[in-house]
Amino acid sequence: MTTSLGKMKAGQEGVVTKVNGAGNLRYRLLDMGLIPKTRIKVIRFAPMGDPMEISLRGYELTLRKADADMIEVEI
């Protein structure tokens, strides 16, 4: 099942399948390690639901939900 990273719940795991977007933001996400076939896990959300913290490649990364919605994940 494919969904966006921004729609995942805390504790869910998945594999990145595609990074959408254009320009510098897309390249920034790719540089941070969000490339296809990368395993990720949603750790937690801020109290108001934005941003979210994910774990990938041995480190934690915090993303805004708007940016996370551009990342497609297979769960």
Identify the band that residue 21 occupies on the pLDDT scale cut at 50, 70 and 90: confident
CA 52 to CA 69: how far, in whole Å? 11
Q: In the predicted model, what is the mean pLDDT of the chain?
A: 94
pTM of the model: 0.88
Coil, helix or strand for 13? strand
Give the start-to-end residue ranges of the domains of the chain.
2-74
Q: Return all residues near 29 (Cβ < 8 A) that are at least 6 apart.
A: 19, 21, 67, 70, 71
Task: Assess if CATH 2.30.30.90 describes domain 2-74.
Answer: yes
pLDDT for the residue 54: 96
List pLDDT tens digits, range 54-72: 999 999 999 999 999 999 9
Which single residue is written with the structure tokens 């801020």?
Answer: 46
Residue 28's Cβ-side half-sphere holds a number of Cα atoms within 13 Å equal to 10
List pLDDT tens digits, range 34-47: 999 999 999 999 99
Identify the band that residue 22 occupies on the pLDDT scale cut at 50, 70 and 90: confident
